[in-house]
Amino acid sequence: MQSDTHPRMKIRVRGRSFLAFVIAPEPPLDAWLAELDGQLARSPGFFEARPVIINLAAITAPERGADTLLDDLEKRGISVIDVEHAPAVRGADPWRRRLLGGRDAGEIDVGDSERAPAPPEETSLVIAEPVRSGQSVLFIKGDVTIIGSVASGAEVLAGGSVHVYGALRGRAVAGAVGRSNARIFCQRFEAELVSIDGFYMAADDMDQALRGRAVEIRLVDDAIVVSPLGSDGKGTRWPK
């Protein structure tokens, strides 16, 4: 017989995304490093606090300086988190490929300014047609606005808030990567499920009096609160 006296702890895992830079050194490496130094002099701090992935696809033959390349980069304040296409480089052996996948975010201009800002990222997504049953809209970087209805069996997942200018009949998930101040707005509330920052409310728990109305849904003290739009937030809480 054995009894566990410790209360069970809840492990909460959240996602967070960063934009990693991929840089591809080219032979001859000493000339490339000199060029990099020049670039860093013109825009210091560009790689500061940025995860960097080294792409060694261009280094096909054993190249002079290859075994010290990673140290050379670290010395310049570039924090390398992974190496791609490493076979020909001896120094890269301990840097096995650890990350998988990743979506290309296009070319980034290093620029010559004091502290070149990263290009402005798209932080909202506007969809000007109905979201049909079975379709899933996923946008982690920010808010999603739907001009139309979200059908039963469809889902919208946003890192930020969800705005539906139509009937919300499917699922809406706001603050999908951990943002408790995200909200859900819809013109007609007939949702199957709403969720903010991991807390959710299923259709069964929703206040029938609010069905069909224009509502705002937010998180207050770990409870989902649904209130009619323009009612100063006096709404129904779940859990009660």
Q: Give me the least distance between CB of 137 and other proteins, in Å please.
A: 11
Nearer residue to other proteins within complex by CB, 167 or 225: 167
CA 197 to chain centre: 13
Cβ 115 vs Cβ 84: under 8 Å: no
DSSP 8-state assignment for residue 43: S
Binding site for other proteins (CB under 8 A): 129-130, 132-135, 148-149, 151-154, 167, 169
Q: Give me the least distance between CB of 170 and other proteins, in Å please.
A: 10
Nearer residue to other proteins within complex by CB, 192 or 197: 192
DSSP 8-state assignment for residue 77: T
Q: Which helix (H) or strand (E) holds 218?
A: strand 215-220
Q: Give me the least distance between CB of 167 and other proteins, in Å please.
A: 8
Place of tokens 């009894």: 3
Nearer residue to other proteins within complex by CB, 192 or 216: 192
Q: Give me the least distance between CB of 128 and other proteins, in Å please.
A: 13
Nearer residue to other proteins within complex by CB, 118 or 126: 126
* C-alpha distances out from residue 166 to 49, 61, 162, 186, Å: 42, 59, 12, 7
Euclidean distance between CA atoms 225 and 215, whole angstroms: 10
Place of tokens 């937010």: 218
Q: Give me the least distance between CB of 187 and other proteins, in Å please.
A: 12
Q: Which helix (H) or strand (E) holds 193?
A: strand 193-196
Nearer residue to other proteins within complex by CB, 142 or 153: 153
